[in-house]
Amino acid sequence: MAKAGLLLVGEYPQWLLDSLETQFELHKLYEAEDEDSFIKNCADSIKAIGTRGDLSATRELIDQLPNLGIIGVYGVGFDGVDVAAATERSIKVTNTPDVLTKDVADLAVAMMLAQSRGVVGADNWARSGSWASKGPYALQRRAHGRKAGILGLGRIGLEVGKRLAAFDMDIAYYATTEKQLEQNWRYCSSAVELAEHSDYLFVTLAANPSTTKLVDEKVIEAIGKDGTLINVSRGSTVDEAALLSALSSGKLGYAALDVFNNEPAIDSAFFALDNVLLQPHHASATHETRQAMGDLVQDNLFAYLAGKSLITPVN
């Protein structure tokens, strides 16, 4: 019997492709010269889509696949998937939560420290010989003991907060409702209130229509000329034009960003700014976590083929 078709929207690690191929016929849409004809040629055989947190599965694509039963996301964020369109046809959607939470939180804290202490610039200073020829590197900014704000207290936000507590930071958070926490973190009922509290504002929101540009001009300016915005969620949660304007004018002091609009071809205006730390959307990109994410997306897809319960469904 012919293997079920798996339509891959974006690249997966080779080890994962090799393993998926034991049970699926792989169709690599990202290699197609003409996507429309590629899809038409394999549409009837496709039982599953494999996509990623930074990629999509649109209603237009879903509607072209009459026998589609599952969309597996290699990532925790499924904002690129039209879940409503999938659900209308009882197509299941799965993601890879939990296995990446702590690595993402680690990088968020690393970005705070790298930005506040000038780690990248200091490396360049030492490596270029400036230390010998020009003397000590410029003084930087303290992180421990300062005020931290966590915008979105889901799995990742909670792990960020646990890490920041070890830095003796005064922690507050924003969520749609106040949470019953073990920690005595202050609840702020708006993003602006949280920003006004924060020296370091961490964006750990889930990306969805209600969080699009939640970090707007008012929030950005409330962080202030001495404050730092740190984003490990999605570019869509921040008004990027307002961010660039505030960083350029000094209304916002600093930023440390792992996510952007239009990745990977991000706005070149970022490149001219010396008060922003740029990271290439790699918060989950460790060997261990990407292995665990791959295992989980595969476990979901194989469970679907076997008619078993899915491990991490989102609908």
DSSP 43: G
Question: How far is Cα 277 from Cα 305, in angstroms, rounded to an integer?
Answer: 43
Question: How far is Cα 256 from Cα 229, in angstroms, rounded to an integer?
Answer: 6
286: left (phi over 0), alpha (psi -120 to 50) or beta: beta
The window from 33-41, 71-79, 106-114, 195-203 that contacts ligand 8YV (CB under 6 A) reads: 71-79
With respect to ligand 8YV, which residue has the nearer C-beta, 9 or 194? 9
- The verdict on whether 142 is a catalytic residue reads no
| Minimum gap (Å) between residue 197 Cβ and ligand 8YV | 27
Backbone angles phi, psi at 197, to 5 degrees: -75, -30
With respect to ligand 8YV, which residue has the nearer C-beta, 53 or 161? 53
- The verdict on whether 234 is a catalytic residue reads yes
Question: How far is Cα 50 from Cα 4, in angstroms, rounded to an integer?
Answer: 13
Size of the residue set binding ligand 8YV (CB under 6 A): 10
Residue 281 touches ligand 8YV, criterion: CB under 6 A: yes
Question: How far is Cα 16 from Cα 11, in angstroms, rounded to an integer?
Answer: 10
Question: How far is Cα 107 from Cα 109, in angstroms, rounded to an integer?
Answer: 5
With respect to ligand 8YV, which residue has the nearer C-beta, 96 or 228? 96
Q: Give the torsion sign (CA, 143, 144, 145, 149).
A: positive
With respect to ligand 8YV, which residue has the nearer C-beta, 97 or 161? 97
- The verdict on whether 27 is a catalytic residue reads no
Options 155, 234, 240, 290, the catalytic residue: 234
Residue 242 touches ligand 8YV, criterion: CB under 6 A: no
| Residue in 198, 284, 300, 312 binding ligand 8YV, rule: CB under 6 A | 284
Question: How far is Cα 73 from Cα 63, in angstroms, rounded to an integer?
Answer: 18
| Residue in 27, 47, 52, 102 binding ligand 8YV, rule: CB under 6 A | 52
* Lookup: tokens for 255: 């930023």
Residue 53 touches ligand 8YV, criterion: CB under 6 A: yes
Q: Which of residues 89-118 bind ligand 8YV (CB under 6 A)?
A: 100
> How far is C-alpha 139 from the geometric centre of its chain's CA atoms?
31
Binding site for ligand 8YV (CB under 6 A): 52-54, 74-77, 100, 281, 284
Q: Could you give the residue numbers annotated as active site?
A: 234, 263, 281
